[in-house]
Structure 1
């Protein structure tokens, strides 16, 4: 049976910023979708990240520092629950859909380190797998398509509704529906065994990083460095 006709688990974070080494989780969602695309289970979290949420981040996801402090779960407690939920899905053999997995999974890893929580890789005994990243796959199968590749753009391209962008649950559900539609549209990917699909994404993500780095060095920043590792950026030091 192809992965596009089976259940999927989707994971998404909204955060204080874009640096996996220093930023924090504000909201999270782990959602299970059945073969027909309907939600069959879900968990969501609002965290008190323990730091101020920059106004730029609040403007995107709508969570202020004051709201997070008043209503959020302590970060260490929530991180343990989030990583356990993600590990349980992968441990049950369900593919994990993560839009821009390199960011979300790496930030979750750093939050585990920060709060003394066993990481996803430690729980699984290795790099998280199978992970399906619509961003990496779409860039691979449709390399020269013009336009943005953010989730809202992929939803528009693949005909998937996204009613509440930058809500962790809504984004997780949309990413899973996009990747299933993507697999149906590009059948060689949709029929690929999950181990092969994981290996393909590792190679594709590295190639995409090399290409972007070369472009940035040529146009804006001669010293630009784009991380090639996927789906998890290794810890430094």
Structure 2
């Protein structure tokens, strides 16, 4: 089944120095841009992370320090990348928990504030987990009856993710071919306010903390009765996007 698109959608995958959203960096990004008319564009780029790539990460994706020593830094490609995804929805595999928060962190680190809240964010892994509970390789075999060659290659994983989503739409009659509905109903386990899910909306639509001693408590209430908690979060090891989101809530509450 072909995708029913109102906007172009960018399928993407990151290979990184590790899995820490706050500290790790991108070493390769691959994007597959699909337009409403069906046209497709694939681009893959190596990135110099400006830090050593741990051996355990290289063992997974095969990218070493030598491979990226002459590659551009993220700062050098950030504006071009932001332009490529402007006006597009985004899709990936495990993207809501990792790729999108890390990409947002990279943009903020170089001073580019890309507004992900205006994009429909589709996580094919969550659709798969809600329906079948498997990995990308198993999803590709299950839905497309193909073996995923070059797994953990950004381009192979990106193209496989695109094919899996189309096959999911063919398989499940109740799965809407609508990016807005897929983003809202199938691509987040929690109703995230920040991309990393440190702040979420509860069943009543109230912004609450999703960690630590104040888990489940309204953010506005904690900011009012314990203002030092805001200062602690701003100084602590939280993603820049989480800090940005918390600051927006604080300013909104102050202006009420």
Q: TM-score of the superposition, structure 1-length normalised?
A: 0.72
The CA deviation at 1:79 is 2.8
The CA deviation at 1:235 is 1.6
Separation in 1, partners of 2:241, 2:72: 28
Show the counterpart of 2:230. none
Separation in 2, partners of 1:115, 1:169: 25
Show the counterpart of 1:100. 94
- The question of 1:163 aligning with 2:157 is answered no
State the SS of the aligned residue for 1:29: strand
Quick one: structure 1 residues 80 and 34, their matched pair in 2 at CA, closer, same or farther if it must change by over 3 Å?
A: closer
Q: 1:152 aligns with which of 137, 144, 166?
A: 137
User: Any unmatched runs of 5+ in structure 2?
Assistant: 192-196, 198-210, 216-238, 245-256
Quick one: structure 1 residues 201 and 234, their matched pair in 2 at CA, closer, same or farther if it must change by over 3 Å?
A: farther
The CA deviation at 1:33 is 4.2
Show the counterpart of 1:221. none
- The answer on whether the counterparts of 1:45 and 1:78 sit within 8 Å (CA) in structure 2 is no
Show the counterpart of 1:111. 106
- The answer on whether the counterparts of 1:106 and 1:233 sit within 8 Å (CA) in structure 2 is no
Separation in 2, partners of 1:23, 1:3: 35
Separation in 2, partners of 1:22, 1:83: 21
The count of aligned residue pairs is 198
Separation in 1, partners of 2:166, 2:37: 10
- The answer on whether the counterparts of 2:139 and 2:164 sit within 8 Å (CA) in structure 1 is yes
User: Any unmatched runs of 5+ in structure 1?
Assistant: 211-223
Show the counterpart of 1:133. 123
Separation in 2, partners of 1:17, 1:128: 28
- The answer on whether the counterparts of 1:100 and 1:136 sit within 8 Å (CA) in structure 2 is yes
Deviations 1:141-188 (A, max 9, x none): 33xx5xxx3211211111254222111111111101101101111121
Show the counterpart of 2:40. 40
The CA deviation at 1:80 is 2.8
Structure possessing the higher radius of gyration over alpha carbons:
2
- The answer on whether the counterparts of 1:11 and 1:86 sit within 8 Å (CA) in structure 2 is no
- The answer on whether the counterparts of 2:14 and 2:27 sit within 8 Å (CA) in structure 1 is yes
Superposed, 1:158-197 pairs within 5 Å as 158-159=143-144, 161=146, 162-191=148-177, 193-197=178-182
State the SS of the aligned residue for 1:48: coil
- The answer on whether the counterparts of 1:14 and 1:28 sit within 8 Å (CA) in structure 2 is yes
Separation in 1, partners of 2:63, 2:21: 19
State the SS of the aligned residue for 1:111: helix
The CA deviation at 1:199 is 1.5
Separation in 2, partners of 1:43, 1:25: 15
- The answer on whether the counterparts of 1:9 and 1:176 sit within 8 Å (CA) in structure 2 is no
- The question of 1:56 aligning with 2:41 is answered no
- The question of 1:80 aligning with 2:87 is answered no
- The answer on whether the counterparts of 1:120 and 1:128 sit within 8 Å (CA) in structure 2 is no
Separation in 1, partners of 2:107, 2:174: 36
State the SS of the aligned residue for 2:14: strand
Separation in 1, partners of 2:61, 2:153: 6
